[in-house]
């Protein structure tokens, strides 16, 4: 499980750097300069965060099996519910995720509300990316596993949930594309 | 330019609102972010028409950044700066990761970590400057002490 945290940390970093690099393509020089400056600050901030919180990937503190299974179940449900509200009910990604987040924040304990809200970001994906309810269930399951495996990684950083969700979507689509080709 | 300023303004507003609910009012940051996201998703498209949907997405992005812990962003003023960074990265990252759920949160994470990195750099520079100033003062003092001992 400790190895999974290192893998998770590496995936988070690659997702962030991937976004910065992808953003730089075809941009005007002023924006590229800004992105390069931000990339330098991001890398430095990432290194100091990882150095200060290295124990978060070394510690052997994992949720219990029961708790882990519950989180994975809730994440799967939240991702598919958000996808349903977004695409089938036509509420759009923002309102769909907001609704699921408000319900989670109001009704669940913080330990479960966070993972549910994170998983709702998966359901915000466009239909070109997560094309069906069954795919949202699969991706929700993947994000649940990643949440459990990487719990203390990037803790306290706003946007960790979104990075987790983006990582899950990219990983799931990569696997599915690989096995379908 | 007006659009850029509007995006940055909305980003600062949403980020600080979420930070305030989570860290100042000590409510759940999930609830804080979800409320800001839901409110902006309903209000902005109604008030601002076509650009309203974009502003709702900007507000959602900034609200994810606003979920940062007080350890990493220590005050509302710092959150204003993070919000501004989030708005700028949102604009720059428009063509990237199209349709990928979690993109907005990734932008928020980059903003938080970039701010943290920038703060560390400025802090290190400031500490070095203070170190130089102290060293100069010490050398001057040593020089004065030597002069006094010669006179004595």
pLDDT per residue as tens digits for the range B74-122:
899 999 999 999 999 998 888 777 777 778 888 898 898 889 888 888 8
A70 and A118 within one domain: yes
Whether residue A21 is contained in a domain is answered as yes
Whether residue A79 is contained in a domain is answered as yes
Name the pLDDT band for A10 (thresholds 50, 70, 90).
Answer: confident
Under an 8 A CB cutoff, do B92 and A27 touch?
Answer: yes
A129: which chain B residues are within 8 Å (Cβ-Cβ)? 99-101
A25 and A110 within one domain: no
As a whole number, the mean pLDDT across chain B is: 84
Give me the pLDDT at residue B39, please.
Answer: 92
Under an 8 A CB cutoff, do A38 and B108 touch?
Answer: no
Whether residue A58 is contained in a domain is answered as no
Residue A158's φ and ψ, nearest 5 degrees, are -65, 130
Q: Which of A21, A143, A158 should be substituted to probe chain B, the one whose Cβ sees the most B Cβ atoms within 10 Å?
A: A158
CA A55 to chain B, closest CA, distance in angstroms equals: 16
Under an 8 A CB cutoff, do B34 and A156 touch?
Answer: no
Give me the pLDDT at residue A19, please.
Answer: 78
- The winner for highest mean pLDDT among A46-50, A63-67, B21-25 is B21-25
Q: Which of B41, B84, B100 should be substituted to probe chain A, the one whose Cβ sees the most A Cβ atoms within 10 Å?
A: B100
Give me the pLDDT at residue B96, please.
Answer: 75
Whether residue A97 is contained in a domain is answered as yes
Q: Are B66 and B17 in contact (CB under 8 A)?
A: yes
Q: Which of A159, A166, A177 should be substituted to probe chain B, the one whose Cβ sees the most B Cβ atoms within 10 Å?
A: A159
Distance CA A125, CA A2 (A): 29
Q: Which of A50, A42, A44 is nearest to A21 (CA)?
A: A42
Give me the pLDDT at residue B150, please.
Answer: 56
Share of chain B above pLDDT 70, in %: 86
A96 and A8 within one domain: no
Out of A10-19, B66-75, B105-114, which region has the weakest mean confidence (pLDDT)? Answer: A10-19
* pLDDT surpasses 70 at A181: no
Under an 8 A CB cutoff, do A23 and B73 touch?
Answer: no
Give me the pLDDT at residue B20, please.
Answer: 94
Share of chain A above pLDDT 70, in %: 85
Share of chain A above pLDDT 90, in %: 29
Under an 8 A CB cutoff, do B92 and A34 touch?
Answer: yes
A174 and A95 within one domain: yes
A75 and A44 within one domain: no
Name the pLDDT band for B148 (thresholds 50, 70, 90).
Answer: low
A124: which chain B residues are within 8 Å (Cβ-Cβ)? 101-102, 104
A30 and A72 within one domain: no
CA distances B150 to A147, A156, B136, B143, Å, are 71, 59, 21, 11
Give me the pLDDT at residue B37, please.
Answer: 92
Residue with tokens 């949440």: A147
Give me the pLDDT at residue B147, please.
Answer: 56
Nearest CB partner across the interface for A125, out of B38, B101, B120: B101
Give me the pLDDT at residue B135, please.
Answer: 59
Distance CA B135, CA B129 (A): 10
Whether residue A60 is contained in a domain is answered as no
Give me the pLDDT at residue A83, please.
Answer: 95
* pLDDT surpasses 90 at A46: no
Q: Are B66 and B2 in contact (CB under 8 A)?
A: no
A94 and A137 within one domain: yes
Q: Which of A155, A174, A169, A178 is nearest to A79 (CA)?
A: A169
Under an 8 A CB cutoff, do B112 and A34 touch?
Answer: no
A156 and A69 within one domain: yes
The model's pLDDT over B116-145, given as tens digits with 9 standing for 90+, comes to 888 888 887 787 777 765 656 666 666 555
Give me the pLDDT at residue B106, please.
Answer: 85
Under an 8 A CB cutoff, do B38 and A41 touch?
Answer: no
A111 and A47 within one domain: no
Between A53 and A147, whose confidence is greater?
A147
A69 and A49 within one domain: no
Q: What is the CA radius of gyration of chain A?
A: 17
Whether residue A12 is contained in a domain is answered as yes
Whether residue A17 is contained in a domain is answered as yes
Whether residue A59 is contained in a domain is answered as no
Residue ranges making up the domain that contains A95: 65-180
Under an 8 A CB cutoff, do B85 and A38 touch?
Answer: yes
Give me the pLDDT at residue A79, please.
Answer: 94
A83 and A34 within one domain: no
Total domain count, chain A? 2
A45 and A84 within one domain: no
* pLDDT surpasses 80 at A101: yes
Nearest CB partner across the interface for B64, out of A15, A158, A170: A158
Distance CA A137, CA B2 (A): 41
């Amino acid at each position: 499980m400790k190895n999974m945290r290192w893998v998770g940390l590496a995936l988070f970093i690659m997702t962030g750097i991937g976004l910065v690099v992808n953003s730089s393509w075809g941009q005007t020089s002023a924006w590229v300069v800004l992105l390069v400056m931000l990339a330098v600050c991001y890398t430095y901030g990432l290194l100091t965060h990882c150095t200060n919180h290295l124990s978060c990937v070394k510690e052997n503190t994992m949720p219990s099996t029961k708790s882990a299974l519950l989180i994975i179940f809730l994440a799967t449900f939240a991702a598919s519910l958000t996808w349903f509200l977004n695409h089938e009910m036509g509420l759009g990604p923002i309102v769909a995720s907001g609704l699921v987040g408000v319900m989670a924040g109001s009704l669940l304990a913080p330990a479960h509300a966070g993972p549910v809200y994170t998983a709702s970001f998966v359901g915000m994906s466009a239909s070109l990316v997560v094309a069906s309810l069954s795919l949202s269930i699969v991706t929700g399951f993947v994000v649940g596993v990643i949440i459990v495996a990487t719990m203390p990684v990037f803790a306290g950083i706003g946007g960790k949930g979104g990075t987790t969700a983006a990582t899950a979507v990219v990983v799931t689509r990569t696997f599915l594309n690989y096995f379908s080709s | 330019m007006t659009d850029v300023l509007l995006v940055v303004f909305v980003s600062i507003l949403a980020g600080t609102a979420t930070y305030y609910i989570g860290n100042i009012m000590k409510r759940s940051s999930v609830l804080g972010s979800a409320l800001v996201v839901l409110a902006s998703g309903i209000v902005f498209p109604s008030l601002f028409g076509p650009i309203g949907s974009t502003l709702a997405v900007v507000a959602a992005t900034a609200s994810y950044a606003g979920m940062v812990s007080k350890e990493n962003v220590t005050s509302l003023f710092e959150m204003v700066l993070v919000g501004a960074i989030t708005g700028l990265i949102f604009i720059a990252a428009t063509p990237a990761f199209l349709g990928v759920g979690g993109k907005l949160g990734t932008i928020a994470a980059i903003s938080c970590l970039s701010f943290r990195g920038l703060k560390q750099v400025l802090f290190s520079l400031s500490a070095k400057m203070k170190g130089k100033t102290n060293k100069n003062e010490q050398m001057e003092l040593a020089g004065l002490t030597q002069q006094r001992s010669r006179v004595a």
